[in-house]
Amino acid sequence: METLSSPIFLQIINALNIGVMVFDQQQQLKVWNHWLEKHAELPASLVCGKHFAQLFPDLRGSRVESAINGALRQGHPAFLSQSLNKSPFDLYSKSASNGSVNRIQQCINVVPISGDNGERYAMLQVSDVTAAVQREMALRRQTEELTQSSYQDNLTGVANRRRFNERLEEEFLRAQHLGSALSLLMLDVDFFHQYNEAFGRQRGDQCLAQIARKVERSLRKPGDLVARYGGEEFAVILPDTSAPNARKYAERLMVAIAELGLPHPQSAVSEQITLSIGIATMEEGKGSDLTSLIMAADLALYRAKQEGRARIGTHSGAI
């Protein structure tokens, strides 16, 4: 194909700000433009005339080779996105800001073209989509951060009420479907109002944050969740946890909070911060609705507080 070597054709493709390579029906490279010379650091004189497999042995059997074959044999065009093909060619760019060298993120158009003698060629157009990929990644990170912040309590760093509601509904439906147990614990910091009055709101906030971290570290399974339910009250979701095991966990948690050793001289039950805990369990997925489970845990917490605080209350009976 004389057009491939014509001066005007070479001037055009060398002026393009994308990579252009052309293969003949024997998969021999016929054209390698200036953009590719720059970013591959390989002159056209060194690579033209060589077979695809010799130039790119790592791409044997790849989508790129399949697309070239499709263009040469059937005349089918193809588009290879960056997301599916992960920058197949060894092309690099140098950062203008710090001089670092980075692999170029690429998308590739494979276009069949016909020569004057009827021979078919495959032209590959390689575009630099690095900036677009970086913008997409930054946008994804921002979206993840926004999602995370919308589910996180600003003061304590644990899940907020919104996240709690969503997760409890998910676990409730899952437990019903699988016939498994689901335990819910409601935690209340004893005499917290008096603590705030004695030490101030800032110390009170620090106290809640310390308790939240301690509860979070006490969780054993990936599906367990602690959330700030409101004020000085927290909720813990324990999927696949029976009533006896939920109580054992609550007992360990009481010890862990005591180990914090947070002074509370205004407490009527201890010289340091304590918790009252209410437990409700849906056994074998036999629960009527979420509201009943929450009310049962709330009632168990109320009883624990009525009976003197710094203790565990357990709901008995069906949910």
Residues 20 and 56 in one domain: yes
Residues 109 and 214 in one domain: no
Distances (CA, A) of 266 to 8, 187, 193, 208, 311: 90, 19, 10, 16, 18
Of the three residues 79, 108, 135, the one that is the final residue of a domain is: 135
Please, which pLDDT band fits residue 145 given cuts at 50, 70 and 90?
A: confident
Active-site entry in 136, 169, 232, 284: 232
Cα-to-chain-centroid distance, residue 145: 10
- The answer to whether position 144 is within a domain reads no
Please, which pLDDT band fits residue 2 given cuts at 50, 70 and 90?
A: low
- The answer to whether position 104 is within a domain reads yes
Contact 212, 157 (CB under 8 A): yes
Whole-model pTM: value is 0.61
Contact 101, 94 (CB under 8 A): yes
- The answer to whether position 141 is within a domain reads no
- The answer to whether position 145 is within a domain reads no
- The answer to whether position 130 is within a domain reads yes
Q: What is the C-alpha to C-alpha distance for residues 64 and 265, in angstroms, rounded to an integer?
A: 73
Name the residue range of residue 104's domain.
2-135
Domains held by the chain: number: 2
Please, which pLDDT band fits residue 318 given cuts at 50, 70 and 90?
A: confident
At 101-132, the pLDDT tens digits run 899 999 999 999 987 777 899 999 999 999 88
Residues 126 and 169 in one domain: no
Report the CATH number at residue 167: 3.30.70.270
**232 assigned to active site:** yes
Query: Per-residue pLDDT for 1 more than 60?
Result: no
- The answer to whether position 140 is within a domain reads no
Residues 82 and 192 in one domain: no
Of the three residues 75, 105, 135, the one that is the final residue of a domain is: 135
- The answer to whether position 117 is within a domain reads yes
Report the CATH number at residue 53: 3.30.450.20
Residues 191 and 234 in one domain: yes
Q: What is the C-alpha to C-alpha distance for residues 155 and 158, in angstroms, rounded to an integer?
A: 8
Q: What is the C-alpha to C-alpha distance for residues 225 and 168, in angstroms, rounded to an integer?
A: 9
- The answer to whether position 211 is within a domain reads yes
